[in-house]
Amino acid sequence: MISERDAAPQYVLPLVVRIEKAEPPARTDALETAALAVLAMLGDERSTGDGAWAEPVRAWQDGRIRKVVRRARGAEWRRAGALPGVTITGHRAEVRVYPPVPLDGWPKELAKLQVSGTDLDDPEPLPPAPDDGTPVLWLNPALKMSAGKAMAQAGHGAHLAWLRLSPADRATWHAAGFPLAVRTAAPDAWPTLATAGLPVVRDAGFTEIAPGSPTVVSDHPALRP
C-alpha cells in the first residue's frame, strides 16, 4: 500500500558544497555547515506563510524530504551562487541551499554538477567534544558513508529535530543561530542513543547503505525525555 507521503509529488532539497582542489573543507565542518544550511532554509521567512519559497517547501515536506548534495568549484560555484538560495559558511566550508525542486526539475546549473564520490577528511586532531547544551547530530559509527552522503544525513537529522521541536524551542534555536555539532557516536554509546526516544534518521536506501539503516540521532537538549 502506497502511503500519502509516497503518493505526493516528490521534491528534493538541493545543496551544493564548495570543494576547491587546493583547499577542500574538513569533513566535520562540511557536515555541520550542511545541517545549518537545511535549518537556514526551514527558518527563512521566504519559506513560510506567503513567502516566495513557501509552496515548494510545503510540497517537499509533504513528500520524502529528500536532500541531495552536489559539489562545485571555480566557475561552477559562481554559477551556482547566482541562483536563488542561501549560502552558509562554517569554519571554512561553504554550502549553498536552494528552494526544493521536483525530482526531475533541477536547474541546469545544478543538474550537471557531480553528485557521487564526494569525500573529505578531518585533519588531526579530531574535533573536540561538543560543549554542554549544544545540540548534537550523532552519526552511526557502524556505517561508512561518503562525505556527500553524510552531509545529506546530517541535514536530515537537523530537519527531524526542527520538526519535533515546539514553536518556542524552534524560535530559541533560530535566534541563537542554530548552534549544533556533528560527531560520530562511540560504538558503545550508539545503542543507548538510538533507543532514547530522540529523532532517528532511517535511510531510504537509494544510495550507499541498506534501506532502513539508522544513520543519525538528533540529540537536541529540548527533545531529551
* pTM for the whole structure: 0.94
Q: What is the pLDDT along the chain (225 residues), one digit of tens a residue?
A: 556 666 678 999 999 999 999 999 999 999 999 999 999 999 999 999 999 999 999 999 998 889 999 999 999 999 999 999 999 999 999 999 999 999 999 999 999 999 877 789 999 888 889 999 999 999 999 999 999 999 999 999 999 999 999 999 999 999 999 999 999 999 999 999 999 999 999 987 777 788 889 999 999 999 998
Q: How many CB atoms lie within 10 A of CB 214?
A: 17
Using CA atoms, how far residue 98 sits from 45, 138, 196, 217, in Å, is 14, 25, 33, 25
CA-CA distance, 134 to 180, in Å (whole number)? 6
